[in-house]
Chains A and B, each alone.
Chain A
Amino acid sequence: DAGVIQSPRHEVTEMGQEVTLRCKPISGHNSLFWYRQTMMRGLELLIYFNNNVPIDDSGMPEDRFSAKMPNASFSTLKIQPSEPRDSAVYFCASSFDRVGNEQFFGPGTRLTVL
């Protein structure tokens, strides 16, 4: 398996622009997670899907952020409009819900908002 795939790997945009990050989870996994990592705040869970349904979005910072999972093999995280404080590395991870199962992380998307 190719692992969790994220695109793009790097994104540089200007304040106010819309940004869309994409994720393809590992085939057969039924949970998907979006995280944000910064030096100041560490690793933060933004949203968690199970069987394509959002279960916990309490970590989504504000209405500018939205996430969708239209099917089991694809998810997007959208920021509109983007702001410089959104600059971070965004990770997608997937897992199969079972006791003891670990999460598999993608390589991340490094977002820079100028």
Chain B
Amino acid sequence: GNSVTQMEGPVTLSEEAFLTINCTYTATGYPSLFWYVQYPGEGLQLLLKATKADDKGSNKGFEATYRKETTSFHLEKGSVQVSDSAVYFCALSADTGGFKTIFGAGTRLFVKA
């Protein structure tokens, strides 16, 4: 079945450091890939997405590229801020008779001033 694996956290960085959170997936067909972010006390919200191979999703300085050859969708940001402290979830969605989304376990990011 479909699955998502992302790096375990927590990840602790200093402000302005480079961020990478790894995500790999297993899926049949051609899934859409997503990164969601969850700030403390809130629900998940979409950060960025990509719907086909080689697409790059980007938002708020974050980027991720849909790599079909390596089945990966790694999240990157060149310079993190304290306000980026949150939990990040990699996810995929595919038409399996419905569009149930499969979420990774989440990676908690702490950014220190």
- A and B held together in a complex: yes
Residues from 60 to 80 in A contacting B, C-beta threshold 8 Å:
none
Name the CB-closest residue of A to B95. A99
Task: Flag whether B99 is at the interface (Cβ < 8 A).
Answer: yes
With A and B bound together, what is the CA distance between A103 and B92 in angstroms? 11
Whether A48 lies near B100 (C-beta < 8 A) is yes
The interface size bin for chain B is 20 to 34
A91 touching B34 in the complex, CB below 8 Å, given contacts A42-B106, A56-B100: no
CA distance A94 to B103 in the complex (A): 15
Interface of A is mostly: strand
Chain B residues contacting A56 (CB-CB under 8 Å) are: 98, 100
Annotate A6-46 by CB proximity to B: 1 below 8 A, 0 otherwise.
00000000000000000000000001010000000011010
List chain A residues, Cβ under 8 A from B51.
99-100
How many A-B residue pairs lie within 8 Å, measured between CB atoms? 57
Tell me the complex Cα distance, A105–B34, Å.
Answer: 14
Cβ of A50 under 8 Å from chain B: yes
| Interface membership of B45, Cβ < 8 A | yes
Interface size class of A (residues with CB under 8 A): 20 to 34
A114 at the interface (CB under 8 A from B): no
A41 smallest CB distance to B (angstroms): 10
A78-114 Cβ-contact flags toward B at 8 Å (1 or 0):
0000000000000101010111111111111000000
Q: Within 8 Å of chain A (Cβ to Cβ): is B25?
A: no
The docked-state distance in angstroms from the alpha carbon of A43 to that of B93 is 16
Other A-B pairs, 18, CB within 8 Å; known A42-B106, A48-B98, A102-B34:
A33-B100, A43-B89, A43-B103, A43-B106, A45-B100, A48-B100, A55-B100, A91-B43, A91-B44, A93-B44, A100-B32, A101-B93, A102-B36, A102-B46, A103-B44, A103-B101, A104-B45, A105-B45
Task: Tell me the A residues contacting B by CB distance below 8 Å.
Answer: 4, 31, 33, 42-43, 45, 48, 50, 55-56, 91, 93, 95, 97-108
A-B contact pairs, 8 of them (CB 8 A): A4-B43, A43-B106, A48-B98, A48-B100, A99-B51, A101-B93, A102-B34, A104-B45
Binding site for A on B (CB under 8 A): 32, 34, 36, 42-46, 49, 51, 89, 93, 95, 97-101, 103, 105-106
